[in-house]
Amino acid sequence: MAFLTEHDKIYTTKEDICAHVGDDYADFMGAVTPPIFQTSLFVIPTEDNGVGELGYNYTRVNNPTIAVAERKMAALEGGEGALCFGSGMASITAAILHFVKKDSHVVMVRSIYGVTRVLLCDYLTKKLGLRVTAVNGDSTDEILAQVRPDTALIFLESPSSAVFKLQDLKAIADFARPRGIGTVIDNTYATPLYQNPLTYGIDLVCHTVSKYLGGHSDIVGGVTIGSRQRIEQISGERFLLGANMDPHQAWLMIRGIRTLPLRLRQHAENALKVARFLEGHPYIQRVIYPALESFPQRELVNKYLSGYNGLLSFVPDGTPDSIRKMISKCRHFQHGVSWGGFESLIVSISVGAGKEDAAASDVPVNLVRIHVGLENAGTLIEDLGQALKYLRQ
Ligand SMILES: Cc1ncc(COP(=O)(O)O)c(C=O)c1O
């Protein structure tokens, strides 16, 4: 757990925060990058039974390298504090458990990350008796109409990570907060650079660090950001559940964040070129990318997003078999499920899914998702061009 220091507040632009928040040169012997405090234990004076004057006693509780990563994230999201976790799912689980108790009701947007959906609709439903109402999330009224007297939480992922559906964060927070209903958002798609949900009144923001924050496909991690009071409470839960990040992971996360603005700009520039190519291709039925004029929720995009990234989806005009073949023929896009690293990836999200499966997750049948990496855009377009021919062969 770490909170912003007075010194952190001198950095006010996203680029400066990414580069410098947490650079405590005097504490780190002048080192420009903070050291990896690869230690489980911190000794404390015998007269002190707590955490000692430096605030550390055991890495499951807290660690100086992890604290630097947390301060960067708190500053980037406009929160008072942040908590890093061993994975994005751990950060999401902690945020959900913060608000729900046995038999609570939760309203959830259908198009959220599949594992979060299983956590809410299956695991926590069976374990805690949660009652979950899944909504399409097409309009604020549709979401709020499902709120009941026992609703403890509205869970959002906006934009979501397969069809990029957005919700009106301010309208939902304005409704939920006075009624004591918690709001949590998975903000991974937008990153803290392009959308700050806390500023609209959302209670807790979660990110998987495994995507753009890390940026190099070499770490799995998560982070939750919010008010001092909430972060203090969740810190106790993180300690009990043993879900803290590892210091080396945190160090890689800090390094990733330093170049986040640069990388995102390049991902988005490449992705727009690829998206326009796909939109003009005769074998493509539909391209879903928030930066395109054809994106259905342009109003919400303009209201909430200040930038884009490398993730986009499309529906090819093909059979499940021809789509699989097309994917297998890519040479530069590798077949893989994640996103947010330097590399280009392609994956089928619902190829051949039964209509019911697809409707359950609000994802169109035959949806293919690509992550446009930092390679040369021309190479990537050429690669897709040659692979798309296999939809007809
Ligand atoms: C949008 C989104 N949220 C959360 C997660 C979970 O993150 P992690 O894999 O770090 O647990 C993922 C992982 O793919 C994701 O895409």
pLDDT at position 384 is: 98
* SS3 label, residue 181: coil
Same-domain status, 102 and 41: yes
CB of 309 sitting under 6 A from ligand 1: no
Final residue in a domain of this structure, among 211, 232, 258: 258
Name which residue sits closest to atom 8 of ligand 1, judged by CA: 88
DSSP letter for each residue of 81-148: EEEEESSHHHHHHHHHHHH--TT-EEEEETTS-HHHHHIIIIIHHHHH--EEEEE--SSHHHHHTT--
Same-domain status, 98 and 81: yes
Same-domain status, 272 and 329: yes
Q: How far apart are CA 235 and CA 240, in angstroms?
A: 9
**CA 366 to mean position of chain CA atoms:** 24
The CATH number for 39's domain is 3.40.640.10
- Give me the mean pLDDT over the 265-269 stretch: 98
* Cβ atoms of 144 and 91 closer than 8 Å: no
Q: How far apart are CA 31 and CA 28, in angstroms?
A: 6
DSSP letter for each residue of 275-321: HHHHHT-TTEEEEE-TTSTT-TTHHHHHHH-S---SEEEEEESS-HH
Q: CA nearest 161: which of 358, 336, 315, 369?
A: 369
Same-domain status, 65 and 171: yes
CB of 81 sitting under 6 A from ligand 1: no
- Give me the mean pLDDT over the 94-101 stretch: 98
Same-domain status, 339 and 373: yes
Ligand 1: distance of its center to the CA of 113 in Å? 7
Residues of the domain holding 360: 261-392
pLDDT at position 362 is: 74
Same-domain status, 243 and 272: no
Per-residue model confidence as pLDDT tens digits over 144-193: 999 999 999 999 999 999 999 999 999 999 999 999 999 999 999 999 99
CB of 373 sitting under 6 A from ligand 1: no
Same-domain status, 321 and 277: yes
Same-domain status, 237 and 267: no
Final residue in a domain of this structure, among 211, 238, 258: 258
Total tally of structural domains belonging to the chain: 2
Name which residue sits closest to atom 10 of ligand 1, judged by CA: 88
Work out the pLDDT band at 237, boundaries 50, 70, 90.
very high
Same-domain status, 188 and 248: yes
The average confidence (pLDDT) of the chain is 95
Phi, psi dihedrals of residue 303, rounded to the nearest 5°: -75, -35
Same-domain status, 231 and 299: no
Final residue in a domain of this structure, among 228, 258, 288: 258
pTM, rounded to two decimals:
0.96
